């Protein structure tokens, strides 16, 4: 169970990395004429992921990946694995939920604006 929980945690980290790094990469790529940052499906996936995170926070929903990981960890051994210790430090912070909600919604609004300012290529 711990191995599967660690895999989900790594998947969660990759998802967060995609959402967070996508925004600056789109702007850098637009300035440098990188074609891939205008890929329609990449842009839609980034927009959808960013809006999903914002919507989750607005309704007070816990991320499904977090719930799934926690469920698997509760069924396994109690000691933390190497992956859990290090990746969890990067993903989870002890702050009020309102700070996350405002941050996620603000970020999603920037991503929406970027969708129109740095237009994706037509399909």
CA distance 34 to 12: 27
- Residue 7 has a CB neighbour count (10 Å cut-off) of 13
> Which tens digit of pLDDT belongs to each residue from 33-87?
999 999 999 999 999 999 999 999 999 999 999 999 999 988 877 677 878 888 8
Where would I find the beta strands (DSSP E) of the chain?
none
Task: Identify the pLDDT of residue 113.
Answer: 98
> Which tens digit of pLDDT belongs to each residue from 2-25?
899 999 999 999 999 999 999 999
Instruction: Give the global pTM.
Output: 0.87
Q: Domain map of the chain by residue range?
A: 2-117
Please enumerate in sequence order all residues whose Cβ is within 8 A of that of 122, keeping only pairs 6 or more positions apart, or say none. Answer: 40
- Asked whether the predicted pLDDT for residue 123 surpasses 70, the reply is no
Own/partner pairs for 60-63, CB < 8 Å, 24+ apart?
Answer: 60/97, 63/12
């Amino acid at each position: 169970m711990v191995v599967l929980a660690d895999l989900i945690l790594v998947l969660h980290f990759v998802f967060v990395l995609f959402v967070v790094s996508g925004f600056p990469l789109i702007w850098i790529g637009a300035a440098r004429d990188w074609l891939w940052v205008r890929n329609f499906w990449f842009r839609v996936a980034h927009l959808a992921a960013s809006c999903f995170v914002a919507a989750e926070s607005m309704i007070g929903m816990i991320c499904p990946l977090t719930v799934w990981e926690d469920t698997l960890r509760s069924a396994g051994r109690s000691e933390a694995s190497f992956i859990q210790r290090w990746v969890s430090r990067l993903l989870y912070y002890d702050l009020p939920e309102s700070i996350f909600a405002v941050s996620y919604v603000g970020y999603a609004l920037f991503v929406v604006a970027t969708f129109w300012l740095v237009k994706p290529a037509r399909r």
